[in-house]
């Protein structure tokens, strides 16, 4: 059952698999960003590509590599599928994609809206991708040209920028995921949520690939600085003093109150164990998948 | 063991007459009406669509000795979506699946390699498809399965004694499941992954890992599979359980992930992934290596035979299947991998009686 918090008039829609701890973290924090706007760093990758890698969907990732190859060759000005957000601009299409593709959970559909004015949105027809195996590389040309598929077009929206995640039911489930996996991280998670509210990048999480020998690791990095964390905490206290209704999850922040000397700093500022978020994999060097990943690591 | 049915006898006899060794190129399958549609009675030849869906290319390095396939006695009737087979005492058992225009068959066919013949075993008490099967301490366990086409799982579990040819019901699964991988190891039965959902739209892979203790007739939980999937290739190697490939919700999203589980520590670890991501494939340990054959993807039926060497954590490709299929029964019988039944085209629309064996 899709959340009734999703409204047709909302700006856009995205599926967030909040059983995944990294997605749960960003969902509760309340802000999602495309990886093309994160600081320049070889290996930046989109959340959608991260999901494909984590699930071992190598054929799908190889197909994404072919679409990226056509984009780089003939449509360089377009957003890359490997770094943008995979969303929908129409709630009915989002639900239809669920029905056709069977790879999204209807409970995970949420509304989003731009956090900044300088976002980009490009609409393409996902049917070209689904029918790539039958059509061949011409499907990629027609996709990037913005052509509608002849039979029953299904538009998808690639987004670049930062976007607020609306609604509370998915975020409640996201919270429970982190609570279950790493309850000591909840204080920093609450700081991360407050930081997003204040426009700070503290606690933002982003995916990237790195290589260790023959092993490729998809990681998610949480931006955290203890000093900045304290500043966000102090600012939240100030907001609360001015306005007691200012929403703060006090039980989670409780470990940060009181005398620091009495507490273990590692416990106070517990960022989740990175191993919860990491996924190691290897690819055969001769495959197109290896080429795709190499392109990401070198871009 | 019950006596041979008339149909079993005729089918096995016909295969015995037509048993030349075919050339070792893909596509040279056994001929004749060895296929049947799910929605229409009557034997048919191999569907033309299979030619465009069969794929054989593997990115893995070629093995020095590619091995060879040989046709064997046809199954008594075309079947598919059994998901797995299991073997014990030099007999391969294939249980449940699609056939004769139904998706909840209780068939139980037993292959005798010395006679190259199929016998009828006592039928499964609850007909279903994608029934998880494994031998543990000389007894065959059949766990869960789908009552409808790849959906609507049930929780019932049964144990079969080959000496008496009888089934008995055991403690049901805590929750219904279909296409779960079942492994017997060190006195316990592991049920790993699988799928739930009463409709095609709601069908979802799960990461559940439950263990059945025959002494207590009870199920308990173990560390879940790191990535939820079903239709996997799963088997024990030494004291570890390897889960290879499978699908995440749908065969449109096949996975190449490969994990190994250590029951001693209750922990999973990643292993070198399957070169060709697929689901509905067979996985058989043969001469120290795991051979993966068949499987299904979007407009694809895989013929690749890829083998994993646990010692080197590496993969090689071997001679591809003569007749690519998915939802097949595969097991080691004697010194050969036997692969029987399965669908020759994407989906469950056509069943096959084809039976081929691979040896090095």
Q: Where would I find the H helices in chain A? A: 21-29, 47-54, 58-74, 91-101, 127-130, 132-135, 138-144, 169-181, 186-198, 226-242, 250-253, 265-268, 288-298
Nearest CA in chain B to A132: B298
CA dist A72 → A82, A146, A207, B151, B243 (Å): 11, 15, 22, 42, 37
Q: What is the count of structural domains for chain B? A: 1
Say yes or no for a CB contact (<8 Å) between B298 and A282.
no
Nearest CA in chain A to B254: A57
Q: What integer pLDDT is reported at residue B268 of this predicted model?
A: 94
3-state secondary structure A165-188: ECCCHHHHHHHHHHHHHCHHHHHH
pLDDT-above-90 percentage for chain B: 85
DSSP assigned state of B279: B
- For chain A, the first-to-last Cα distance in angstroms comes to 40
Q: What integer pLDDT is reported at residue A293 of this predicted model?
A: 72
Has residue B27 been placed in a domain? no
B28: pLDDT strictly greater than 70: no
CA dist B154 → A280, B82, B125, B173, B178 (Å): 35, 15, 13, 9, 7
The helix (run of H) or strand (run of E) holding residue B16 is helix B6-17
Can you say how many angstroms the Cα of residue B305 is from the centroid of all Cα atoms in its chain?
Answer: 14
Measured between beta carbons, which residues in chain B are less than 8 angstroms from residue A57? 248, 253-256, 277
Q: What integer pLDDT is reported at residue B6 of this predicted model?
A: 34
Has residue B157 been placed in a domain? yes
Helices (H) and strands (E) in chain A, counts: 13, 10
d(Cα B238, Cα A228) in Å, to the nearest integer? 51
Q: What integer pLDDT is reported at residue A268 of this predicted model?
A: 56
What average pLDDT does range B61-81 have in this prediction? 97
Taking the Cβ of residue B206 and every Cβ of chain A, the question of whether any pair is shorter than 8 Å is answered with no
Pull the structure tokens for residue B50: 């299979």
B344: pLDDT strictly greater than 50: yes
d(Cα B136, Cα B187) in Å, to the nearest integer? 7
Q: What integer pLDDT is reported at residue A187 of this predicted model?
A: 87
Has residue B48 been placed in a domain? no
What pairing do the DSSP bridges indicate for beta strands B188-192 and B181-185? Answer: antiparallel
The helix (run of H) or strand (run of E) holding residue B53 is helix B49-53
d(Cα B350, Cα B78) in Å, to the nearest integer? 8
Say yes or no for a CB contact (<8 Å) between A57 and B201.
no
**pLDDT by residue (tens digit) across B147-199?**
999 999 999 999 999 999 999 999 999 999 999 999 999 999 999 999 999 98
Query: Which residues of chain A are under the pLDDT cut of 50?
Result: 1-2
Domain span including residue B319? 6-19+54-359
Q: Could you tell me if B156 and B172 are in contact, meaning their C-beta atoms sit under 8 angstroms apart?
A: yes
B11: pLDDT strictly greater than 90: no
d(Cα A221, Cα B57) in Å, to the nearest integer? 37
d(Cα B351, Cα B103) in Å, to the nearest integer? 11
Pull the structure tokens for residue A180: 């279950």
Has residue B45 been placed in a domain? no
Has residue B31 been placed in a domain? no
Say yes or no for a CB contact (<8 Å) between A134 and B277.
no
**Chain B closest CA to A258's CA: distance in Å?**
38
Which has the closest alpha carbon to A102: B197, B128, B155, B152?
B197
Q: What integer pLDDT is reported at residue B255 of this predicted model?
A: 93
B3: pLDDT strictly greater than 60: no
Q: What integer pLDDT is reported at residue A169 of this predicted model?
A: 92
Best residue of B151, B270, B271, B299 to probe chain A, by most A CBs closer than 10 Å: B270
What average pLDDT does range B268-290 have in this prediction? 95
**CB count, 10 Å around CB of A59?**
23
Q: What integer pLDDT is reported at residue B7 of this predicted model?
A: 36
The helix (run of H) or strand (run of E) holding residue B290 is strand B289-293
Q: What integer pLDDT is reported at residue A221 of this predicted model?
A: 82
Say yes or no for a CB contact (<8 Å) between A56 and B60.
no
Say yes or no for a CB contact (<8 Å) between A56 and B252.
no
Q: Which residues contact B208 (CB under 8 A, 6 or more apart)?
A: B175, B177, B180, B191, B192, B193, B194, B221, B224, B225
What average pLDDT does range B127-140 have in this prediction? 97
Helix (H, G, I), strand (E, B), or coil: what is residue A155? strand
3-state helix, strand, coil in chain B (%, to 5): 5, 45, 50
Say yes or no for a CB contact (<8 Å) between A103 and B200.
no
Best residue of A19, A56, A276 to probe chain B, by most B CBs closer than 10 Å: A56
Task: Write the residue in B270, B277, B299 that is nearest to A58 by C-beta.
Answer: B277
Say yes or no for a CB contact (<8 Å) between A57 and B59.
no
**CB count, 10 Å around CB of B267?**
11
Has residue B153 been placed in a domain? yes
Which has the closest alpha carbon to A16: A28, A1, A4, A8?
A28
CATH number at residue B287: 2.120.10.80
Helix (H, G, I), strand (E, B), or coil: what is residue B187? coil
Q: What integer pLDDT is reported at residue A261 of this predicted model?
A: 52
Has residue B42 been placed in a domain? no
Across the strands, what pairs with A15? A109
Task: Write the residue in A103, A134, A287 that is nearest to B253 by C-beta.
Answer: A103
């Amino acid at each position: 059952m899709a959340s009734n918090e999703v409204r047709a008039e909302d700006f856009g829609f995205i599926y967030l698999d909040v059983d995944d701890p990294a997605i749960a973290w960003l969902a509760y924090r309340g802000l999602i960003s495309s990886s093309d706007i994160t600081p320049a760093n070889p290996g930046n990758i989109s959340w959608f590509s991260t999901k494909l890698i984590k699930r071992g969907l190598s054929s799908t990732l190889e197909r994404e590599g072919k679409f990226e190859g056509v984009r780089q060759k003939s449509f360089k000005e377009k957003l890359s599928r490997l770094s943008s957000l995979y969303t929908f601009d129409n709630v009915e299409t989002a639900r239809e994609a669920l029905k056709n593709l069977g790879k999204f959970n209807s409970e995970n559909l949420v509304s989003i809206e731009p956090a900044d004015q300088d976002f980009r949105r490009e609409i393409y027809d996902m049917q070209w991708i689904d029918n790539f195996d039958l059509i061949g590389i011409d499907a990629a040309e027609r996709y990037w040209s913005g052509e509608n598929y002849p039979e029953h077009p299904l538009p998808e929206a690639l987004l670049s920028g930062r976007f607020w995640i609306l609604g509370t039911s998915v975020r409640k489930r996201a919270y429970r995921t982190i609570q279950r996996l790493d309850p000591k991280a909840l204080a920093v998670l609450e700081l991360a949520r407050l930081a997003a509210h204040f426009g700070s990048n503290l606690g933002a999480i982003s995916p990237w690939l790195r290589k260790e020998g023959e092993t490729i690791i998809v990681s998610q990095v949480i931006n955290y600085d203890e000093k900045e964390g304290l500043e966000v905490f102090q600012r939240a206290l100030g907001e609360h003093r001015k306005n007691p209704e200012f929403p703060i999850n006090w039980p989670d922040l409780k470990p940060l109150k009181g005398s620091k000397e009495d507490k273990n700093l590692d416990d106070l500022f517990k960022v989740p164990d990175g191993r919860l978020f990491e996924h190691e994999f290897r690819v055969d060097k001769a495959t197109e998948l290896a080429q795709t990943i190499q392109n990401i690591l070198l871009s | 063991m019950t006596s041979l049915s008339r149909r079993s006898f005729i089918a096995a006899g016909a295969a015995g007459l037509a048993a030349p060794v075919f050339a070792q190129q893909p596509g040279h399958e056994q001929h004749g009406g060895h296929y049947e549609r799910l929605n229409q009675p009557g034997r048919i030849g191999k569907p033309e669509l299979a030619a465009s869906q069969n794929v054989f290319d593997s990115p893995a390095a070629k093995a020095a000795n590619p091995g060879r396939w040989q046709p064997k006695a046809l199954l008594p009737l075309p079947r598919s979506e059994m998901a797995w087979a299991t073997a014990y005492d030099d007999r391969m058992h294939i249980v449940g699946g699609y056939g004769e225009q139904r998706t909840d068959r209780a068939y139980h066919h037993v292959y005798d390699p010395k006679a190259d013949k199929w016998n009828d075993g006592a039928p499964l008490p609850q007909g279903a498809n994608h029934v998880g099967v494994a031998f543990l301490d000389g007894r065959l366990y059949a766990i869960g399965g789908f009552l409808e086409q790849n959906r609507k799982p049930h929780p019932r579990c049964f144990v079969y004694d080959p000496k008496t040819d009888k089934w008995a019901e055991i403690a049901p699964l805590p929750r219904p499941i279909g296409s779960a991988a079942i492994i017997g190891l060190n006195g316990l039965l592991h049920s790993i992954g699988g799928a739930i959902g009463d409709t095609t739209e709601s069908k979802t892979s799960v990461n559940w890992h439950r263990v059945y203790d025959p002494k207590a007739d009870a199920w308990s939980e173990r560390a879940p599979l790191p990535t939820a999937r079903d239709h996997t290739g799963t088997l024990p190697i030494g004291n570890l359980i390897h889960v290879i490939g499978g699908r995440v919700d749908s065969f449109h999203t096949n996975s190449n992930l490969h994990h190994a589980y250590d029951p001693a520590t209750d922990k999973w670890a990643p292993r070198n992934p399957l070169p060709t991501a697929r689901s509905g494939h067979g996985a058989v340990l043969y001469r120290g290596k795991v051979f993966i054959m068949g499987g299904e993807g979007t407009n694809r039926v895989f013929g690749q035979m890829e083998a994993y060497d646990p010692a080197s954590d590496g993969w090689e490709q071997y001679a591809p299947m003569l007749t690519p299929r998915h939802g097949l029964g595969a097991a080691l019988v004697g010194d050969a991998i036997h692969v029987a039944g399965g669908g020759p085209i994407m989906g469950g629309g056509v069943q096959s009686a084809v039976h081929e064996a691979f040896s090095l």
